[in-house]
Amino acid sequence: MRKLTPFDRSAQKAARVLTARAIHTADAGNTTATAMLTDRGRILAIGSVDQCEAAADRAGLAPERVDLGASVVVPGFIDAHAHPLMFGQLMTWVDCGPEKAGSIPEIVALLQAAAAETPAGRPVRGYGYEQRNLAEKRHPTRFELDEVASDREVYLMNASGHGGVVNSHTLSVNGVDRDTPNPEGGEFFRDAEGELTGELSDAACNILTGVHGVKIGHHGPNFHLADEPEEHLRQLDAATQRFLAGGVTSIGDAQVTRREFDMYLRLAEAGRLELRVSMYLLSHLLDEALEMGLVGQFGNAHLSFAGIKLYADGTLGGWTAYFPDGYVGDPCRTGQLYHEPAEYTALISKAHAAGLQTATHAQSPTAIEMVVSAIEAALAERPDADARHRIEHCGLPTPEQIERMAASGIRPVNQTQHYFNWGEGVEEAIGTPGERFNPLGEFERAGVPFTISSDAPVAEPIPLEAIQTAVTRVTRRGHKLGPDDLRVSALAALRAHTIEGAVSIGREDDLGSLEVGKYADFAVLSDDPLAVAGEDIAAITVRETWVDGERRYRA
């Protein structure tokens, strides 16, 4: 029988008084302090040095003094929507993102270099390209990837994570040719003459993932490629270290299957789960979750079950989000819904009736309408003022839908780094409405609490970059997306990545702000994100990350 290493090693945690230039608490009053007393992983006092030392005396403690000098302390960032195992897996692939390659020949060169170092027969895999950021403004083709290797799999994943390009060998060994029909919910793309280009999306990626990949009716995509368990364990371990380096102390894993669940248990068993994870099971596991009695949050302070993840449509970056009238950039593409509205409504109703939080991926207005309507119906059947159903990404809600979200308590979980990395592409895909992508300012004015997350590996877990983009709405290429009233303040963005993230994963009672009684999870920054110019926030570095009052990362 598997025996888990206990997470709460509070007897080993020293009492400390920490001092800094500023400690932004993100409490209800947005208080700023200069000292914090911690003991056994919890915050005992926060305020001035004198106040913290007096609290230590009253508690009979002789705390260690930790002077953080001119650093600024903020609550540990909460990344409420990420895919850690997939991120760890991609860390073993070739980075072909915009900082590494700006053209198709540069991508090919990167993959060729990797192929030269990879044993014969093993696949060559890259990730991170966004076709509209490339000089050619298009996807690579299978023929260009054939220059990397013609005798083994070559796969280049698009930045969206919802497809990419493979070489001719990959298509051939999987029996895919010009006459192969497209799978339901996916596409093998063809040129004007009907020849395969090598590009594939969503359910077509099953040639890479196998039977556990994308299926309509299988409740959405799982693009995680299978590796040996020990390799997956190393990948997950490496990923958690990258989150800690970004100041992230808690994660909402928004795509948990048996594979991810097992890896978390293994990492915990080894005593290496150094941050907190709230798991959202993919919705094809809903019935099994209910049979096991998982009808609410379950677990401990480091690893817990939070709710159910569903998919309404695809991705804007990969042009698989559902636009029934076609994309401006390609009228022949419509994307797809993963469920018929009635089927989806029944799933939401079943989860809601059991008291489960749901988190649904939805990008287009049509997909968001399906989600909002289903939640409204579920709430009408069983009123719950604190259901906290989430819409993941929630890219292009209409103003009317935003008002209904406010009335129903629906929480959008947005990723501002998506428009930092490829915001121009959204406008190219769907026209002028794309400038509203992730309309945080509209959410704020309507009274809709919003959360910011990374969606790693779609973006790196760099919360300060996400906060800067929320404040400026300026993309990596210097393009400003939409009018100023879509922007939010640095304080609102900081709260969206801390306390609002905690609310979204149901952990605001012990996480998300620096208050007495909560866990001492915090990030130590080189400068003050609330004081520097908006365009300089991402230049701030994370010097240290603390979890349970213990230093887990130091730059």
User: How is domain 98-158+163-212 classified at the CATH fold level?
Assistant: Diaminopimelate Epimerase; Chain A, domain 1 (3.10.310)
DSSP run (H or E) holding 22: strand 16-24
pLDDT of residue 185: 76
Query: Rounded mean pLDDT of 13-40?
Result: 96
- Identify the weakest region by mean pLDDT among 18-32, 309-323, 508-522: 309-323
> pLDDT digits over 134-149, tens only?
999 999 999 999 999 9
* CATH code matching the domain that covers 229-547, chosen among 3.20.20.140, 1.20.1250.20, 3.90.480.20, 3.40.190.10: 3.20.20.140
pLDDT of residue 249: 98
Indicate if the pLDDT at residue 388 is higher than 80: yes
**Given the structure tokens 């208080």, which residue do they identify?**
31
pLDDT of residue 12: 57
Indicate if the pLDDT at residue 278 is higher than 60: yes
pTM summary value: 0.89
pLDDT of residue 270: 87
> pLDDT digits over 229-242, tens only?
888 899 999 999 99
Domain boundaries, the chain: 98-158+163-212, 229-547
> pLDDT digits over 482-531, tens only?
999 999 999 999 999 999 999 999 999 999 999 999 999 999 999 999 99
Q: Angle between the 365-381 and 341-353 helix axes, to the nearest 10 degrees?
A: 40
The alpha carbon of residue 505 and the mean position of all alpha carbons in its chain are separated, in whole angstroms, by 13
Q: How far apart are CA 524 and CA 521, in angstroms?
A: 10
Residue pair 77/450 in contact by the 8 Å Cβ criterion: no
pLDDT of residue 1: 33
pLDDT band at 16 (very low <50, low <70, confident <90, very high): very high
Q: How far apart are CA 338 and CA 347, in angstroms?
A: 12
pLDDT of residue 258: 84
Q: How far apart are CA 342 and CA 112, in angstroms?
A: 48
Q: What are phi and psi of 422, to 5 degrees?
A: -150, 40
pLDDT of residue 306: 95
Indicate if the pLDDT at residue 293 is higher than 80: yes
Residue pair 349/374 in contact by the 8 Å Cβ criterion: yes
Indicate if the pLDDT at residue 214 is higher than 70: no
pLDDT band at 224 (very low <50, low <70, confident <90, very high): low
Q: How far apart are CA 410 and CA 181, in angstroms?
A: 38
Indicate if the pLDDT at residue 216 is higher than 50: no
Decide: residue 101, CB within 10 A, 0-12 exposed, 13-18 middle, 19+ buried.
buried
pLDDT of residue 219: 53
Q: Who's near 168: CB < 8 A, 6+ residues apart?
A: 142, 143, 145, 146, 150, 198
pLDDT band at 11 (very low <50, low <70, confident <90, very high): very low
pLDDT band at 162 (very low <50, low <70, confident <90, very high): confident
> pLDDT digits over 434-488, tens only?
899 999 999 999 999 999 999 999 899 999 999 999 999 999 989 999 999 999 9
- Pick from 537, 390, 401: which is nearest to 473 by CA? 537
What ranges make up the beta strands (E) of 377-466?
390-393, 411-414, 451-452
- Pick from 243, 275, 309, 201: which is nearest to 91 by CA? 243
Please give the structure tokens belonging to residue 310.
């569903």
Query: Rounded mean pLDDT of 281-303?
Result: 88
pLDDT of residue 183: 86
pLDDT band at 426 (very low <50, low <70, confident <90, very high): confident
Residue 285's Cβ-side half-sphere holds a number of Cα atoms within 13 Å equal to 24
Q: Who's near 113: CB < 8 A, 6+ residues apart?
A: none
